[in-house]
Amino acid sequence: MGKVTGISHLVRSNILDLVPYSSARDEYSGSASVFLDANENPHNSPLNRYPDPQQTELKNTIAELKGQQVKNLFLGNGSDEGIDLLFRVLCDPGLDNIITVDPTYGMYGVCARINDVERKSVLLRADFLLDADSVINAVDDRTKIIFICSPNNPTSNSLDSEPILRIAEEVDCMVVVDEAYIDFSSRESLLSLLSDHANLVVLQTLSKAWGLAGIRLGMVFAQEELIGYLSRVKYPYNINSLTLEAASESLKNQGLHENWVNQILDEREKMIVQLNSLVFIQKIYPSDANFLLVKMDNPPEVHNFLMERGIIVRDRSSVPLCEGCLRITVGTQAENLKLFEALEVYGQTDNV
């Protein structure tokens, strides 16, 4: 349905009819000086005031940074809020289904269970690439969302845009592309293609490349119509004042952000060389993100060995297609060195 406009037939009827809560701040947004409309405490400025429910200022900054329009942007309490709201807007509990392309990020499946929505799982190919036909074949007339993560967590590779766009053009449901790791990627974001595809949605976040996981700020980019439904359903003040402030401050410093990303990418390449020198490492999958998926002998034992030395990595060895693998985040130079030294010690013990 690439060129079709209008997605209202995919939206739950109770949401189409919803009249959202209208807050005091929604009803007045001019520049008055005496605010006696919201039962706020007059003391403790500025945190005594409710934040802007529309996040106009921050949205302007982000839209400009991303080359998008404000009307195509929704801000959530992390991407996780965006994911959950997509379920609540699109999926009738107990009736509709969604598709995930596995192995992938666990939140899609958790949100599906919370919302009582069936999840159909389609596997990536053994080389972790996307097979458009197997996704398209899994769609039925109750499928509302297909989640595609690129670069994908935990496989660390990017998926080609060609099969993603072919899926978007051939199916009548929303195709959500989660770009949490896009700033580490050598590939282009799909953001520039949004205006050609009514059913395409792109998720991004400040949690990874911007170093702001603690403030919880996720972005949903989509056609204005879907953004409108998400905005109706969200909590009125879903982005708090401290988050708005911290995000605005950080986004001013594009240079620092780029510097961090470059450092992480340099460290990633060093880590690959180091890990490849260890005999129990079987394979490091090509990464387009800030983590490595590493196949090795006896991953649970390595995981425990590291944990006993205070180094935590993610054991993905029981995940289909990730058998034998740990997922290792790229840290600072000092952290990565500690990891490597511990793994060297492990390699010299009788374990191997």
Ligand X SMILES: *Cc1c(COP(=O)(O)O)cnc(C)c1O
Q: Does 103 bind ligand X (CB under 6 A)?
A: no
In the bound complex, what is the minimum distance in angstroms from residue 31's beta carbon to ligand X?
32
Q: Does 79 bind ligand X (CB under 6 A)?
A: yes
Give strand pairing partners of 203.
Answer: 178, 220
Q: Does 153 bind ligand X (CB under 6 A)?
A: yes
* Closest to 325 in 3D by CA, of 203, 154, 176: 154
User: 79 and 111 in contact (C-beta within 8 Å)?
Assistant: no
Candidate ranges 75-83, 169-177, 255-263, 300-308; the one touching ligand X (CB under 6 A) = 75-83
Binding mask 231-270 for ligand X (x = CB under 6 A): ----------------------------------------
Report how far residue 105's alpha carbon sits from residue 33's, in angstroms, rounded to the nearest whole number. 46
In the bound complex, what is the minimum distance in angstroms from residue 151's beta carbon to ligand X?
9
- Tokens (6 digits) for 264: 């992480």
Q: Does 180 bind ligand X (CB under 6 A)?
A: yes
* Closest to 288 in 3D by CA, of 146, 196, 158: 158
Whether residue 46 has a cis bond before it, omega within 30° of 0? yes
Report how far residue 45's alpha carbon sits from residue 32's, in angstroms, rounded to the nearest whole number. 16
Q: Residue holding tokens 């790229």?
A: 330
Q: Does 158 bind ligand X (CB under 6 A)?
A: no
- Tokens (6 digits) for 55: 């996040």
Report how far residue 188's alpha carbon sits from residue 302's, in angstroms, rounded to the nearest whole number. 35
In the bound complex, what is the minimum distance in angstroms from residue 184's beta carbon to ligand X?
11
Nearer to ligand X, 220 or 226 (CB): 220
Q: Does 205 bind ligand X (CB under 6 A)?
A: yes
Q: Does 287 bind ligand X (CB under 6 A)?
A: no
CA distances from 168 to 69, 134, 146, 163 (A): 21, 13, 9, 9
Candidate ranges 122-130, 206-214, 230-238, 327-335; the one touching ligand X (CB under 6 A) = 206-214
Nearer to ligand X, 181 or 346 (CB): 181
Q: Name the residue number minimizing CB distance to ligand X.
A: 78
Q: Which of 210, 218, 284, 303 binds ligand X (CB under 6 A)?
A: 218
Candidate ranges 2-10, 22-30, 123-131, 202-210; the one touching ligand X (CB under 6 A) = 202-210
Report how far residue 305's alpha carbon sits from residue 195's, in angstroms, rounded to the nearest whole number. 49
Q: Which of 84, 96, 178, 315 binds ligand X (CB under 6 A)?
A: 178
Q: Does 105 bind ligand X (CB under 6 A)?
A: yes
Q: Which of 7, 132, 145, 149 binds ligand X (CB under 6 A)?
A: 149
List % helix, strand, coil for the chain (3-state, nearest 5).
40, 15, 45
With CB under 6 A as the rule, give the number of residues binding ligand X. 13
Report how far residue 157's alpha carbon sits from residue 140's, in angstroms, rounded to the nearest whole number. 28
Report how far residue 158's alpha carbon sits from residue 185's, in angstroms, rounded to the nearest whole number. 8
- Contacts with ligand X, residue ranges (CB under 6 A): 78-80, 105, 149, 153, 178, 180, 205, 207-208, 213, 218
